[in-house]
Structure 1
Amino acid sequence: MIFYMFIDGIGFGPDDPETNPFSRYAKSFFLPLAGKSIPQNATPFLKNTVFLKTDASMGIKGLPQSATGQTSLWTGINACKVLQRHLSGFPTFTLKKIISKYSIIRILEEHGFKADLLNCYTPAFTEYVKKNPRHVSASTLIQMASDKPLKGMEDLRRGKGLYMDITHEYLKEFSRGYLDESDELFQIRDPYLTGKSIVRNCKEDDYTLCIYEFFLTDKIGHKMNWEAAEKYIGELESFLAGILEELNPEEDQLIVTSDHGNLENLSVDVHTLNQVPTVLYGKYTSKMEQKIRSIVDIPSAIYGVLGIDIELKDEEFIKTEL
């Protein structure tokens, strides 16, 4: 099973606690994002991770942005090259066409593999999407392109998916009027145990690929919020520790990456030009690390280890009107 986690807006920064919260707060998984080494007394799982410094600009000048970056890392098509610019926010008509054809979830399903987006959505969000179809993120679109339903609260209740903040702290705020105040979903989750349980459940359900998006890191970066940075760096490190502990490196693969830098420099409220991490652990690490130089290379690396033969052509979309 391949567990592919996307953490929005994290890059490699200097070991400077005045600007880089990873320098100040990271204790394990994120130490390399502050130029630090994984300590020798770390768990065997953590010591065997490989951190690749990965290009997020993809040959186009300017600050990397979410719509083009995420489209690229979930389709294998260089969306920046197609548009000849970096695009923030939600995918345009052209990017939606790319996702519709080359969604990694769709491609795997068409080749007989089981793949899914683990993010679970509230009824309020699904209603909002119906009323505002243009305001749909790339992650949501890769699931919709596969004709698979978005996961909801019942999936979350059964441990078949994850909420956007892992711990459910935000769930009550976004579920008023839909869930009873006493619902057990409002109980705060332990991120470490959640990491372990989601891997177990994905393996029990015989998935080949599971994708999870965590986007609060980018929001924290834009707000330059040190207190929130400390909180979520800690929670993410606990979550990833649980994932690493539950994965079998002889059978499974972890991929963690991002679309652009941001959180590693809280002296500014915009994205950065820093390289982003692609963190690998598990069965296919040696093969994947040879192929990944840019975030757009990740889908091709996944297809390669699964034996999927597919030609990804940027040129197919370059003449499309925006």
Structure 2
Amino acid sequence: MRRILFVFLDGVGLGPPGPENPLSSHDTPALRRLSGGPQWTRTLPETTASRHLIRRLDATLGVDGLPQSGTGQATLFTGRNCAELVGRHFGPFPHSATYDVLDHANLFHHVQSLVAAPQPAAFANAFPPQFFEAPRRRWTVTTRCCAGAEVPLRDLSTLQEARAVPADLTAEAWRDALQLDVPLRTEAEAARDLAATHRDHRLTLFEYFLTDKVGHDRTDLDAARLLDSLGRFFDELLDRLDPATDTLLVTSDHGNLEDGSHTQHTRNPVPLFVHGWAAPYFADATTLTDVAPCIIAALRGANGES
């Protein structure tokens, strides 16, 4: 069975190399492993091979202003230009004009229509009890997609059973900010658990948002420590995937982390890395709108080959 693992990194763009760009000033070998050697900057060369593809994606969507998470993520996970639909960039939460497409035509829906299985798609993030106990949840783009497609949200019990991954990889925030009795784990253990979840589904999504929080200076974690943590995670994850049957897709919704001179989003392109059998299906990807259709085409093609 051929599968796709989608690791979404919030707020990571490709900016000019220089001291203000931690993606060029701090060397992270595992990230260069994803890119085939070069650092993640605007000079990143595009590559097309049978099992490795690199693209620079336009995140502006033809709309003025700074790209935002609400419309950027809605575009990524539906294939619709949601900034154009709304008439502007909007975020961090989804705009009401995008509710219909998120609720009825998101990526999970398309995978469900293609794959005859009880749960062909999964969202691997774990959510703490406080999320489920809130009287009025503030739905993000990803959780709204799950609700619309009836993809279960994973909770404390699935995290304890190693069938889910905390958004920060280590569960440190669960212990420190939420005061939950959860054992700390390493980034390698998080990668192990994500790979195990991925093996049970045709499409698995994992959302990592600390990249955007660090870019906004909303956490004590600095960019160098963050990139080292991500590096340990990706090193282990790549080691656990077989490119003949597994594809790892990594991309973002807008720039932020790559420019340390301010705490705002940027209009820089975002990277698209595709490692594995599905790489050729992304050869023509140029904007955020192309990611979901390429995933669907790849899984449809995999169905035809099986």
Stretches of structure 1 that go unaligned for 5 or more consecutive residues are 39-47, 309-322
Confirm or deny that 1:132 pairs with 2:121: no
> Paired residue for 1:62, among 62, 65, 81?
65
Are 2:159 and 1:156 aligned?
yes
Shift of 1:51: 2.4
CA distance in 2, matches of 1:99, 1:208: 20
* CA distance in 2: counterparts of 1:227 and 1:173, whole angstroms: 13
How much identity, in percent, do the aligned residues show? 28
Give 1:120's aligned residue: 126
Question: Offset of 1:190 from its aligned partner?
Answer: 1.5
The equivalent residue for 1:34 is 41
- In structure 2, the partner of 1:8 is 10
What is the distance in 1 between the residues matched to 2:65 and 2:189? 40
Q: Structure 1 residue aligned with 2:286, among 280, 290, 293? A: 293
Q: TM-score, normalised by structure 1?
A: 0.83
Q: Distance in 2 between matches of 1:195 and 1:278?
A: 20
Alignment pair present for 1:202 and 2:198: yes
Give the CA deviation at 1:224: 7.9
Q: Deviations for 1:92-146, whole angstroms, at most 9, x for unmatched residues?
A: 2221111011121122123325001111100101222xx234x211011111111
The alignment of Structure 1 onto Structure 2 pairs a total of residues equal to 285
Partner of 2:48: none
Structure 1's 26 and 95: CA in aligned 2 closer, same or farther, altered over 3 A?
A: farther
**1:106/1:174 Cα in 2 relative to 1: closer, same or farther (>3 Å)?**
farther
- Kindly report the root-mean-square deviation, in angstroms, between the aligned alpha carbons of the 2 structures: 2.0
1:242 aligns with 2:248: no
CA contact (8 A) 2:86 2:95 kept: no
> What corresponds to 1:43 in structure 2?
none
Contact 1:124 1:174 in 2 (8 A): no
State the secondary structure of the residue aligned to 2:249. Answer: strand
The CA deviation string for residues 229-254 of structure 1, in whole angstroms up to 9 with x for no partner, is 11111111111111111111011111
- 1:109 aligns with 112
Amino acid at match of 2:123: L
**Which of 69, 92, 95 lines up with 2:95 in the alignment?**
92
Q: Helix, strand or coil for the counterpart of 1:33? A: coil
Deviation readout 1:248-294 (Å, 9 max, x if unpaired): 10111111010000000010110001000011100011222x23111
Aligned position for 1:317: none
2:41 partner letter: A
Is the Cα–Cα contact under 8 Å of residues 224 and 269 in structure 1 kept in the other structure? no
1:163 and 1:115, CA in 2 relative to 1: closer, same or farther beyond 3 A? same
